[in-house]
Chain A
């Protein structure tokens, strides 16, 4: 009886999860792989082959865009880590108990506004007739309007702003679990500030750092809205290519191949990152 109840509850809990994995992850991806392997030889005539992937390799603009997306995503990840770590450290270790909650809440506030609106917020600030340009003109520092939008710096700023929270949250939770005495012991045994940071705090926070980086990198590489709105046509983000293939050119086969390539590429980067830092996926996700 007891056993049956246990089994039933397990099945009830497991079913939605299995359905989600199967219907929303495995089947679509298998469909994508199958689709990407089809080549159009004549109207309504398809053959299986690697043509779509060969096209990708033969056309430098495609793989350049992918590499560019990857490297810019890495840059965004590094910037988010550099900015997020001190913030997380302050929240977890320096702020008092009451301010900690308030600060955490402040970090969450931007999430109440949709991605789209947040991007438009940046546009209002940065466009030629926007707030910053106007203020600069008014103060006499410049004499004609400046366009801050549609360049890589803006795209990176916008992306860092969008994803930094996903860096801060895992960092705060790992740093929170660190006993203050450990930092004090680091000083007590003769370590200077940089030594304690390098030898004790960062190694301890490594699982949080890695999991934050994975999430941020994946989100950035797969983001669409922010690069398009802030970077315009210059952004050449890889998701834009995929969108083009699917929607504009109606070339689903090639779009599916691109989508699959993006997945393989980002997975490879994450794998490489884990190898370099000596962490395992289970370790980082479980600890933070």
Chain B
């Protein structure tokens, strides 16, 4: 081996059916070595099936899986150098921590001294050097998590698959484990493939995220790309929060278009997505709450903004206080609730429920997708 292939994992036109249901539909992707890749999708989108095919527990109907450039499609699960952290971790309760980690090494026929050295080493690396003799039920949730990862990493896998391993943890621990997982991935410098339905997990940890829906990949990109430049309306709606409207595009003029919404509003927006909408087509509009500015109507600044903007008048319905991420819910004259980010300082300047406000946002931040 003079040069290692650029991709640790390649999936080429993978498909899988369960009876009449197409669980995974012609999925192709490549994962560069040493990166943290997430597959994000709603439950039932086929992400677990995809992962089980990579691990070898399901046979694909068609397509190929390559690890380090070599097809593994005909290899049994125990012959693939792909290790998996299961949703409920699946640590072996009849073995202690040491035996759990040593299991894979023993299967590979490593010598006793080598097993001892490598188990100690991996326990050091996950910062749990003293738990070797503990029983599994004596560990805390976060410790179990790390043991499950160590049990795989001790075998130097080409790819580590993680199937929503944080799902069973409580919120505080989950937040801590997100950072921890990212650090572990850096430390081991192994390709992690992380399956989740929780977008914040995917966005925080990943180098690249694939959005999966109904067996297909909607978009693959960095978290920033997915958030700011979604390709489809599904991605725009699934990643992050959005206000949405549906309507019909009336005029298109370069980068700006005019849309008549179903409720009768006229909004300026920028066409987005891989297939751009055209005039006369029905479209969906997404606006992130952080791009909408709410002003009091009576004190609204003298408006001589250079560019045309979208404006909407309404009444403050309620305030959702959450520190720096506080939001205001505004009921527009057509009755729709619109979310906008606000800064609540606790002073007298803060918006109050019932006040009349004007919402302003620019057409560039108004994404419009063909439906």
Contacts and interface: CB of A to CB of B under 8 A. Distances in A.
Interface centre among A179, A184, A188, A206 (most CB of B within 10 A): A188
A190 B86 contact: no
Nearest to A182: B90
A191 interface: yes
A190 B78 contact: yes
Interface string B58-97: 0000000000000000001110001110111010111100
Contact of A188 (B84, B88, B92, B94): B84
Given A181-B88, A181-B90, A200-B92, A188 B103 contact: no
A185 B86 contact: yes
B176 to A, nearest CB: 24
Contact of B94 (A181, A187, A191, A204): A204
A188 B78 contact: yes
B88 A184 contact: no
A234 interface: no
Contacts of B55: 184, 188
B87 A181 contact: yes
B155 interface: yes
Given A188-B83, A188-B84, A189-B152, A199 B78 contact: no
A251 interface: no
Given A187-B77, A189-B83, A179 B90 contact: yes
B78 A187 contact: yes
A190 B155 contact: yes
Contacts of B93: 204
A189 B86 contact: no
Contacts of A199: 103
Contacts, number: 60
A192 interface: yes
A184 B77 contact: yes
Contacts of A203: 92, 94-95
B291 interface: no
A185 B77 CA distance: 10
Interface in A231-253: none
A195 B107 CA distance: 8
B358 interface: no
Nearest to A189: B104
B108 interface: yes
A189 to B, nearest CB: 4
Contacts of A206: 94
Interface residues of B, number: 24
B118 to A, nearest CB: 14
B57 interface: yes
Contacts of B88: 179, 181
Contacts of A200: 92
A181 B86 contact: yes
B103 A191 contact: yes
A199 B155 CA distance: 18
A245 B83 CA distance: 65
B169 to A, nearest CB: 17
Contacts of B78: 187-192
B208 interface: no
Nearest to B103: A189
Contacts of B84: 184-185, 188
A184 B48 CA distance: 14
Interface in A187-222: 187-192, 195, 199-200, 203-204, 206
A288 to B, nearest CB: 14
B248 interface: no
Contacts of B151: 189
Nearest to B107: A190
Nearest to B93: A204
Contacts of A186: 92, 103
Nearest to B76: A187
A187 B55 CA distance: 10
A188 B52 CA distance: 11
Interface in A82-102: none
A204 B92 CA distance: 8
A26 B93 CA distance: 39
Interface string A163-193: 0000000000000000101101111111110
Interface centre among A179, A181, A190, A191 (most CB of B within 10 A): A190
Nearest to A191: B107
A189 B57 contact: no
A204 B104 CA distance: 17
Nearest to A196: B78
B103 A184 contact: no
Contacts of B155: 189-190
A279 to B, nearest CB: 11
B77 to A, nearest CB: 5
A243 to B, nearest CB: 43
A34 to B, nearest CB: 45
Interface in B92-129: 92-95, 103-104, 107-108
Contacts of A179: 88, 90
Given A181-B87, A184-B57, A189 B94 contact: no
A236 B275 CA distance: 87
Interface of A: 179, 181-182, 184-192, 195, 199-200, 203-204, 206
12 contacts: A181-B88, A184-B57, A185-B84, A185-B92, A186-B103, A187-B57, A187-B78, A189-B152, A191-B107, A200-B92, A204-B92, A204-B93
Given A184-B84, A188-B78, 6 more contacts: A181-B86, A182-B90, A187-B77, A188-B83, A189-B151, A204-B93
- The 6 A-B pairs at the shortest CB distance, nearest first, are namely A189-B104, A190-B107, A181-B90, A185-B90, A181-B86, A203-B94
